[in-house]
Amino acid sequence: MSEGALLDRLAQAGPLHALLTPLDEVRSGVAAQATRPPAQGVLAGVPLVVKDNICTLEYTTSCGSRILEGYRSPFDATAIVRLKAAGAVIAGKSNCDEFAMGSSTEHSAYGRTNHPLDPARVPGGSSGGSAALVAARAVPAALGSETGGSVRQPAAFCGVVGIKPTYGRVSRYGLVAFGSSLDQIGVFGDTVTQAGRVLSVISGRDPFDSTCADRDPVVPPERPRDLKDVVIGIPGEYFPADLDRGVRRACERAMERLRALGATLRDVSLPHTKYAIPTYYIIAPAEASSNLARYDGVRYGPRFGDPVDVRALYRNTRGQGFGPEVRRRVLVGTYVLSSGYYEAYYGRAQRMRGLIAQDFDRVFGDGIDLLFTPATPTPAFRAGENMADPVAMYLADIFTVTANLAGLPAMTIPIGRVQGLPIGGQLIAPAFEEARMLGTALALEAVVTGTEEA
């Protein structure tokens, strides 16, 4: 894509309010990157937008928050270094829920992003901006991040491919930490092949991240996988009786196509699924409350008010710099870690996580190759619909959060539309089996039409 064409498409996508970087900055950022040695590599000339919580030398990294308004990172995230080395062009930072906390991008301090097909609806979150820009074909791929489904859920809502790698598959160095034991950089793509290519570039061992696995980068398959005799598990807990009928229809159609490709579908059970959300909403806020303690106005970022002493500096900066959702989670997190509560909440949640991981181990150890489920319980909801009750918003992640808790790779591809709104079908694979997962996704992608009404 030429620079001019790129800027045109980004401009066209302007009304989505998905791109945080002003276009003239994108123009100069892209031009500066073009002056480097001629682009070689697997992603030569491919423009990507990057979620605002991933550190880039170009543009600002504000994590959708006022507390980092105008912050310029003095280093590139490892994933960004690798993208650039592969010839990719970083075409701006995309909108997200503040510090990745949210499922609709409505919690961004810089305003919400519109759903690409219906401005009254949300694109999902927290990586809503990246999802929307790929869906609008402004860029063929984008980076997002996952803690509890924040790539797959918006990918499903917007009708694009979204991948969450195995925990430790992609370096977190330069990903602004939210829930450290859950966070991973994830990939959006217009196709499975495109997303897989980006994943292959950014993945692999990194000496700057102690939690990054000592493994080679993902090698994406070149061809769809032959699904003959592949056993795909269908967990009953992801198809509750009250599942949105449109979602169910789209999934059943996709399952038929999988069968037609030769796969055997088997009913399985992941009995602790319903505890995934409460487990997540102990662990993630707890870790976040600690990870966000560094935002104090001392060494970077703006200061708020005119603090007379250090206490005022902290309390004003954090009280005014953080939005309501972040404040809530920091307070909940501080509470569950506080003296007397650690064992009952965080301690117990880590064990609950063990039970959830065991569910998957049992199923994968019992001849199941991978799992197929809906990515979300509903299509994209309306803006404002889930803002009154914090827990209501949490439930949007009910099918995605389990993979984050168990550290497993998972991805969504568009499998149809319901009243014009995209629906995503999710694959969950055993740890480090991204190649198997991508091969299966390629096979499914070839036989479903994402834009087809279910």
Q: Is 73 labeled as catalytic in the residue annotation?
A: no
156 binds another protein (CB under 8 A): no
Options 27, 112, 172, 225; binder of another protein; rule CB under 8 A: 172
Options 41, 45, 180, 190; binder of another protein; rule CB under 8 A: 180
Neighbours of 59 (CB within 10 A): 22
Q: Is 126 labeled as catalytic in the residue annotation?
A: yes
Catalytic residue, candidates 65, 126, 200, 289: 126
What residues between 263 and 302 interact with another protein by CB under 8 A?
A: 272, 275, 278-279, 281-282, 286-287, 289-290, 292-294, 296-302
The DSSP string of 63-103 is TT-STTTT---SS--HHHHHHHHTT-EEEEEE--SGGG--S
Neighbours of 243 (CB within 10 A): 15
Nearer to another protein, 70 or 240 (CB): 70
Q: Hey, what are 358's tokens? A: 């065991």
Distance CA(330)–CA(292), nearest Å, equals 8
The DSSP string of 108-123 is -TT-PPPPSS-TTB--
Q: Hey, what are 205's tokens? A: 């061992």
| Residue 320, SS3 per DSSP | helix
What residues between 365 and 424 interact with another protein by CB under 8 A?
A: 389-391, 394, 405-407
Residue with tokens 């920091």: 330
Nearer to another protein, 254 or 336 (CB): 336
75 binds another protein (CB under 8 A): yes
Strands 184-189 vs 141-146: parallel, antiparallel or unpaired: antiparallel
Nearest approach, Cβ of residue 454 and another protein (Å) = 32
110 binds another protein (CB under 8 A): no
Q: In what order do the strands lie in the sheet with 370-374?
A: 89-94, 47-51, 141-146, 184-189, 161-164, 410-418, 421-428, 370-374, 231-235, 264-268
* Rounded to 5°, angle at Cα 87 from 83 and 93: 50
Q: Which amino acid is at 173?
A: Y
Options 46, 63, 201, 396; binder of another protein; rule CB under 8 A: 63
Options 42, 320, 385, 447; binder of another protein; rule CB under 8 A: 320
441 binds another protein (CB under 8 A): no
Q: Taking the mean position of all CA atoms in its chain, how far away is CA 259? A: 29
249 binds another protein (CB under 8 A): no
Nearer to another protein, 333 or 374 (CB): 333
Residue 112 · residue 17 · CB < 8 Å:
yes
209 binds another protein (CB under 8 A): yes
> Segment contacting another protein (CB under 8 A): 31-39, 53-61, 105-113, 230-238?
53-61
Catalytic residue, candidates 73, 108, 150, 203: 150
Q: How far is CA 30 from CA 36, 64, 413, in A?
A: 11, 22, 29
362 binds another protein (CB under 8 A): no
Residue with tokens 């993979």: 403
Lay out the site mask for another protein across 13-52 (x = CB under 8 A, - = otherwise). Answer: ----------------------------------------
Residue 299 · residue 68 · CB < 8 Å:
no
Q: Is 290 labeled as catalytic in the residue annotation?
A: no
Nearer to another protein, 124 or 301 (CB): 301
350 binds another protein (CB under 8 A): yes
Q: How far is CA 3 from CA 14, 32, 34, 139, 453, in A?
A: 17, 12, 10, 11, 35
Q: How many residues bind another protein (CB under 8 A)?
A: 100
> Segment contacting another protein (CB under 8 A): 22-30, 325-333, 420-428, 439-447?
325-333
| Residue 170, SS3 per DSSP | strand
Nearer to another protein, 54 or 421 (CB): 54
> Segment contacting another protein (CB under 8 A): 36-44, 125-133, 238-246, 313-321?
313-321
Options 136, 352, 411, 437; binder of another protein; rule CB under 8 A: 352
**Catalytically active residues, by annotation:** 51, 126, 150
